[in-house]
Chains A and B, each alone.
Chain A
Amino acid sequence: MPGNKKTLDTSKLAIEYSRYYQGKMQTAPKVPVTSLDDFSIWYTPGVAAVSLAVAKNPELSFQYTNRWNMLCILTDGSRVLGLGDIGPEGSLPVMEGKALIYKYLGGVDAIPIPVSAHEPEKIIQFALDIQPAFGAIHLEDIASPKCFRILEELKQKLTIPVWHDDQQGTAGVILAGLYNSLILTDRKLRNAKIVLMGAGAANIAAAKLLISAGASAGNLILVDSKGILQPEREDMDRMMLQNKWKYELALSTNAERREGNIDEAVEGADALIAASKPGPDVLSRSTLKKMNKGAILFALSNPVPEIWPKDAKEAGVRIVATGRSDFPNQVNNSLIFPSVIRGVLDVKSKAVPDEVIIAGAKELAQYAERDGSLTDEHILPTMMDREIYPLVAAAVGDSCVKLGISRINLTRKQIQRRAEEIIQKTQKMIDTLQKSNLIEPTSKVPAGKNRRK
């Protein structure tokens, strides 16, 4: 497996660095403090007036406190990365990493909150209870199918946006990549025949978002470990009771009522989105050869895609995307979640419905298209394209304003400027901390230093 040695190396470094830095995030003030006297403003007695004003009008908490920029990263650690259920403490390093990405790319103050509650109703109640402190809630690494119920109920009950990255983040970036792949292959989303292999959180959310974005449900076919999803499958009743989201898709997709497995599903398909299990032999060349000319393949399993891109290309697939950064066309959540959250926070949105995610995905897709760099090997921007973050944030915020779910109304340009300002300021802060050694370079890490020969 390519990259294996590198993985071992980074694992070792990650442990050493974590031991040295003892955490990736901390809190820092954003108001001047020159003497203890200042606390008569920031704290009692002055603060009482602010508290009274907010108590009278709780919406002022989005203006008089940092709530507008605060994100709760909520998890129960039940499905962390590819590691499975490793519990709340086990998930904390990952959640800290997510918070770091949020801060670095989106200027968002994200707080990792792993909880020991596992039952959906308890997690839902926890999110409702903690809502007053946050501008948005990011659900992370919660197992399927409970993640569907949690997201669905919280969407109805919270008055701040709730985002489940494994669903909306992945679905959003898949949609963006697909938009451009369809342009390149001269297809329309509403006519495209799309097969989704794997029916976990990512692909169920992707199927739903594709339908929201205009794909015809009947043209989609989902395939899971038991074969093609169709209404007469033996496990439909179990699905109805245990995973109604998948059940609904079994009823609404696959208009041809195809039966069988992946080979039967991809016959004449334009695009295959695989988010199933690590490859490289999960998909075969002979399977891909059954697809239409100019086929699109997203092989998204990590760390190894369902089939190596080279093999997929040899089987006639025109556009191949994976979840990895060492191949062209990385379908990466990090392209979308920092900017979606930046956007909803900046307009103090009450929700983040599908329309908003679609607006963000379109903007992300158009960025790759706009500068003329759209090719089969470049269907999406990369994380190096830093301008995308404020642009996508602006598209997202603008969409919230137009839908009437924002607490403040800003123009698209204003949202973009505000996002740029926040992100630049954050990066300047991080640079300053590093330059002044308040954040020490990794060369200071004893073991890390030794490695730098």
Chain B
Amino acid sequence: MPKKSIKTVVTANKESNAQSDSGIVIREIKKEELGKAASLVARLKRLNGEFDPLLKTTDSLDSEAQKTVERVASNSDSLIMVALVGSKVVGVVKADLKDRTFYEPRREGAIDEFYILPEFRRGSLGKDLLASISEKLKGRGAELITAEFPSQNEIAKRFYTKLGFRSLTNVYAKAES
């Protein structure tokens, strides 16, 4: 029985900078890219808002995204990777390393932000970006990769399923007001 219940994809390129045929560079985020990454995170939240009224974004979304990205970037248990075309940030993925305490395998790499600009979605960038962060997370001890997204997001569901992921836990919500 393998330790990982969910398969992850391994990038062919073990270098820290993986460059694909399309000239897109994937690597860990640099300080000067935080602003652009934050704007992509804000886009992701707006996209989430399309799937469920309980994911409606707040008016302060943009500034909150900026603060969150800055905070996360300085957190040693978190990881942000970007996809770049030249100096332009076209994709971002963020994950946290977590201890699962009660379950095995114990070390989880939990992806909770993942966004690629529309124009760059058609090729294999999504797959490559996921593979790159999975590789990094494994390097830091993760034995399990998880990804979180809105229940109604069929596109994400298809994407992860195709790459060998399956549904693990569910979050059910009910507004009380």
A residues near B (Cβ < 8 Å) are 231-232, 234, 236-238, 240-241, 247, 250-251
Contacts and interface: CB of A to CB of B under 8 A. Distances in A.
Interface in B111-143: 117-119
A398 B119 CA distance: 39
Question: Chain A at the B interface: mostly helix, strand, loop or mixed?
Answer: helix
Interface footprint category on B = under 10
Interface in B128-174: none
Contact of B47 (A232, A237, A247): A237
Nearest to A257: B119
Contacts of A251: 118-119
Given A231-B117, A251-B118, A241 B50 contact: yes
Contacts of A240: 118
A149 to B, nearest CB: 16
Can you list the 5 inter-chain pairs with the closest CB atoms, starting with the nearest? A237-B47, A231-B119, A236-B118, A231-B118, A241-B50
20 contacts: A231-B117, A231-B118, A232-B117, A232-B118, A232-B119, A234-B43, A234-B46, A236-B118, A237-B43, A237-B46, A237-B47, A237-B50, A237-B118, A238-B46, A238-B50, A240-B118, A241-B50, A247-B118, A251-B118, A251-B119
Contacts of A231: 117-119
Contacts of B50: 237-238, 241
Contacts of A236: 118
Interface in B1-51: 43, 46-47, 50
Nearest to B42: A234
A247 B50 CA distance: 15
Given A232-B118, A238-B46, A238-B50, 16 more contacts: A231-B117, A231-B118, A231-B119, A232-B117, A232-B119, A234-B46, A236-B118, A237-B43, A237-B46, A237-B47, A238-B47, A241-B50, A247-B118, A250-B118, A251-B118, A251-B119
Nearest to A231: B119
Nearest to B47: A237
Contacts of A232: 117-119
B92 to A, nearest CB: 14
A124 to B, nearest CB: 20
